[in-house]
A and B are shown apart, each in its own frame.
Chain A
Amino acid sequence: MSGSEQTLEQILTLAATHFKVPREKLTADDDFFKTLGIDSLQALDLLTRLEHHFHVELPDYELQGVSDFRTLAQRIQARL
């Protein structure tokens, strides 16, 4: 598994745990606002959890225009 795939997998697992959604219901290209049933503030909350997990700092604007796990993983991977 490549680094970016591992990052993606970890994001999916973290999101499933944090928002109490079965992991198997989440896929890389899901619209996480819809799949997780969250608003943009809750998405920022997820970003904070991801920062702690990956030990990176992501400005809020990194989430602007992002709504699927795959792109989110790419943004995080770029800062690892």
Chain B
Amino acid sequence: MLDLDQYSCLGAALRDALDRWPNEICLIESDRDKEKTRLTYSDFKEIALPLARALEDAELGRGDRAAIVMTNQSKWLISAYAIFYGGGVLVPLDYKLSAAEHLQLLAHSQAKFLVVEYHLWRAMMQSPEFRKHRVQTVLVTEAPLGADLAGAFRWEEFRRKGDPLFVPRQREDVACIVYSSGTGGRPKGCVLTHENYIEQCKSLTAWYPFWPGVRYLSILPTNHAIDFMVGFIGPFVCGACVVHLRTLRPEFVRDAFVRYRITYVSLVPMVLKNLERGLRAKFEALPAAQRFFLERLIAVNKALTRLHPNVRLSRMLLPQVHKAFGGGLEAIIVGGAFMEPATLQFFYDLGIPVANGYGLTEACTALTVNDLKPFRADTVGRPLPGVELRVMSPDEEGIGEVVVRSPTVMSQYLDDPELTAQTIVDGWLLTGDLGRFNGDGHLQLFGRKKNMIVTEGGKNIYPEDIETAFSRLPVKEYCVFAGDYLWKQRRLGKEMLVLVLRLEQNQEFGEGLRQEIETENRTLPDFKRVGGYFVWDRDFPRTASMKIKREVLAEEIRKAYSAAAVVAL
């Protein structure tokens, strides 16, 4: 691994990585069962530097913002490398957002450059907001011959000869602007510095090291904080290899584990549960005698790995299970959302260590990770090296808001000093999550103080971001809350958004209105939809500027009704 203490910026570390391991494979890209790309670090350099030079000629300069909107693929990392090389600031956007949301965040970030896949660019071109975009240079990947690109360049042709100028940045300079949410009017652009990333990379690799020969399967979107770190920066500064799949079909994901003998993979709970479901179905389909034998072996493995994992031993005890994961899997990294302990334990008992953790975009990637000494499925692990975590104003059960001070904490929310001041107080980041430390220093989470949900797919959804979807409902007023914000559950998982309606005088709630709610709900992506509604019988409290006083309203609702009043959609 490179000695990251010697580096002031990601660009320099990545640049040196390409020279340090020229013959190691750094990238493999597979589309279904066809391998499309296999690059050594030296090959990567040959492709990336002409792009960096072309960006330089197009006037990418120190601190200029360049957005990437792409699914996981080699061109994502090559483009990011070229942007950092030229001193740019990367703005990784979630490719699953709508075209209107992409355009909104491009405007908010004031991105001067954009690298985007053709199908996403085509969707942006069809958006009514397209004409207003101010991106200076757009590079489109994989555009069909003859396609109208509305003035954009083809990524594959955007190359210039000659050595590009490397533009160094300082630790305190901005490396990335990462949107944790906020397409509903108040974008939350986390401004993360080179210091944040370098320190995060050091702390994570101290516990979960990469080395040449490691193969990391990149499934989580690369714009996501976890994949950006463990599916790009971490592997590259250690000479490891990243494997990209152009599809997330479960059968091809399973196949990739075996074909590429994957060492690490990061998953969100939804994918891990999908794998669990598949394995359980296979176990149940076994003849009774085989199943009995398997269950005994799992019990033996569980007993022998109670204090710490022993992957080699587990591979011998349960060879068929481990072969299905390629035979080289060292750990599954799980994050992005709450994971049920039973699922984590299921995999651990099979001899597959699960490094579950806790983090938030505002603190770069991860704050705590399970150190497996021993494995604790009911916690999110211990604070990583350099991370100070505290539980603020704990109640009689020791539960309070988790606050953090760490070199990985963002400098600010982009262009929002008010929100920054509310979120970072005296150097401590207020996470809005409720937690408690158990006796041996593991953090347990118990719910949220903030009005938002995190889906099993790892998406943060803030009610304000989806409220406009219901603006056509014929009601007096409405708003959306996280169900657990209204009625504190003291647990995580199965989180739901609730639409609160205030009807007009003499208006009755009927089937027609219910159908309208369903229709409007379906205009939202499936992971952003409300899970139920609730009719409130009083006018909403409002400020002088007519904004809803959400906390006051939540308190009124909490006092008058229980969660049972919510009607599921």
Contact = CB atoms under 8 A, between A and B. Distances in A.
A40 B119 contact: no
Contact of A44 (B119, B250, B456): B250
A31 B522 CA distance: 7
B277 to A, nearest CB: 9
Contacts of A42: 274
Contacts of B71: 60-61
Interface in B454-490: 456-457
Contact of A41 (B98, B271, B518): B271
Interface string B502-527: 00000000000000001000100111
Contacts of A2: none
Contact of A47 (B96, B246, B249, B525): B249
A68 B521 CA distance: 13
Contacts of A47: 249
B249 A45 contact: yes
Contacts of B395: none
Interface in A29-52: 31, 33, 39-42, 44-45, 47-48
Contact of A59 (B96, B247, B251, B518): B247
A67 B522 contact: yes
17 contacts: A31-B526, A39-B270, A40-B270, A40-B457, A40-B526, A40-B527, A41-B248, A41-B274, A44-B250, A45-B250, A45-B251, A48-B249, A61-B71, A64-B96, A65-B525, A67-B522, A68-B522
B370 to A, nearest CB: 24
B526 A67 contact: yes
Contacts of A33: 526
Contacts, number: 45
Contacts of A40: 270, 457, 526-527
Contacts of B250: 41, 44-45
A12 to B, nearest CB: 18
B31 to A, nearest CB: 9
Given A61-B71, A61-B119, A65-B98, A44 B249 contact: yes
Contacts of B274: 39, 41-42
Q: Which of A41, A65, A68 has the most CB of B within 10 A?
A: A41
Interface in B488-546: 518, 522, 525-527
B220 to A, nearest CB: 13
Contacts of B518: 31
Give the interface size bracket for B toward A: 20 to 34
Interface string A56-74: 0001110011011000000
Contact of B247 (A60, A65, A67): A60
A61 B119 CA distance: 8
Nearest to B519: A29
Nearest to A60: B247
Contacts of A41: 248, 250, 270-271, 274
Interface string A16-32: 00000000000000010
Contacts of B527: 40
Interface in B60-77: 71
B122 to A, nearest CB: 10
Interface string B74-118: 000000000000000000000010100000000000000000000
A65 B246 CA distance: 18
B247 to A, nearest CB: 5
A48 B518 CA distance: 28
A42 B281 CA distance: 15
B30 to A, nearest CB: 13
A32 B332 CA distance: 30
Nearest to A31: B522
A65 B119 CA distance: 13
B522 A44 contact: no
B64 to A, nearest CB: 28
A31 B249 CA distance: 20
Contacts of B96: 64
A68 B251 CA distance: 23
The 10 closest A-B pairs by CB, nearest first: A41-B274, A33-B526, A44-B249, A60-B247, A61-B119, A67-B526, A48-B249, A31-B522, A39-B270, A41-B250
Contacts of A64: 96
A67 B519 CA distance: 12
A65 B526 CA distance: 8
Nearest to A62: B119
A68 B98 CA distance: 17
B248 A44 contact: yes
Given A40-B457, A65-B525, A68-B522, A60 B249 contact: yes
Nearest to B117: A61
Contacts of A39: 270, 274, 456-457
Nearest to A43: B526
Nearest to A65: B525
Interface string B222-264: 0000000000000000000000001111110000000000000
B487 to A, nearest CB: 23
Nearest to B275: A41
Nearest to B518: A31
Contacts of B270: 39-41
A34 to B, nearest CB: 8
Contacts of B98: 65
A39 B526 CA distance: 9
Nearest to A67: B526
A22 B249 CA distance: 25
A24 B291 CA distance: 37
Contacts of B457: 39-40
B124 to A, nearest CB: 13
Given A31-B526, A48-B251, A60-B249, 14 more contacts: A39-B274, A39-B457, A40-B457, A41-B274, A44-B248, A45-B251, A59-B247, A60-B71, A60-B247, A60-B248, A61-B71, A61-B120, A65-B525, A67-B522
